[in-house]
Amino acid sequence: MRLDKLFDLQGRIALVTGGGTGIGWMIAEGLAANGAKVYITGRRKEVLEKAAASFNQSNQGNGSIVPMVMDVTDRKSISAGQEVIASKEGRLHIMVNNAGQTGPVSKFLEDPNAPEQKDPETLGRAMFNNESFEEWTGIYSINAFSIYFVTTAFLGLLAKGSADIPGYTSSVINITSISGIIKLSQNHFGYNSSKAAASHLTKMLATELALKKIPVRVCSIAPGVYESGMTYDKITEDKVDIVGKGLIPVPERRPGSAQEIAGTVIYLASPAGCYTNGQEIAVDGGYTAVNPSVR
């Protein structure tokens, strides 16, 4: 029952997509600081290398961070990444599907005085003309489609990770969003619906793998307001609800911290989380408790 056993990550091999910045970096840093060898992926090599170097030079723990360029919307790139992990490690214990983007935004939706909201015809036309099929396809590709393709590409390595440690099961952790849980559009129908798709995809993957007796757990974490490239580098109290765009303010009156998101990932990825499967955990300061949601 000791903490160093309950949440042991020593010797674990992890992969975090979109791991060079924002929430992905918070997660990668937390895993590595507690003993894991973490591969961070993204499209920008220089960003990944800079992030990895900053951790490896800081001596924060006995883990490490390795940069690896991989485009989660490209099957060839995903396959190339899988081959790197297969040849260098031979197994994988933790997969964090974190890569994501915001997509098209229709700002007039939150302004009742906007000319686009003059009447139903005007509003409908504004919503129709302001976004495109191509933009929606792009946001679904990275926020939802990538989870399916990255997870299935690495599934064999994840199963080997479970066989590597008695009593332990490898874990896929999908970073969704409270935007996929609440019923508000927050000005971006595409982003919110793509995150809802990611949440349901998590449940389907967990169920299918469990029914097929594949020893890989699949869960998701839905962050609330956090500092990232999609919000602000620094979120002060006056900006919390600008980001959250809720009907009711965030009860905690602050953004989430790196410790809170990394700690939730560590729980799911460690021995302490091995009896948890197919679940989504909202780490949102009470946002979904006070705003209309599907829960």
Give the C-alpha separation, 263 to 70, whole Å.
25
What is the pTM assigned to this prediction?
A: 0.94
pLDDT, position 206: 98
Residues 90-146 have pLDDT tens digits of 999 999 999 999 999 999 999 999 999 999 999 999 999 999 999 999 999 999 999
- Domain 3-106+139-289 -> CATH class: alpha beta
Give the C-alpha separation, 85 to 83, whole Å.
6
Q: Which residues are catalytic?
A: 177, 191, 195
pLDDT, position 59: 67
pLDDT, position 254: 94
For residue 170, the cross-strand partners are 216
Residue 61 has pLDDT above 80, yes or no: no
Residues 216-266 have pLDDT tens digits of 999 999 999 998 877 888 899 999 999 999 999 999 999 999 999 999 999
Q: 3-state DSSP: the chain helix, strand, coil percent, rounded to 5?
A: 50, 15, 35
Residue 40 has pLDDT above 70, yes or no: yes
Give the C-alpha separation, 221 to 284, whole Å.
10
Is 19 within 8 Å of 66 (Cβ atoms)? no
Residues 142-192 have pLDDT tens digits of 999 999 999 999 999 999 999 988 899 999 999 999 999 999 999 999 999
Residue 24 has pLDDT above 80, yes or no: yes
Residue 83 has pLDDT above 90, yes or no: yes
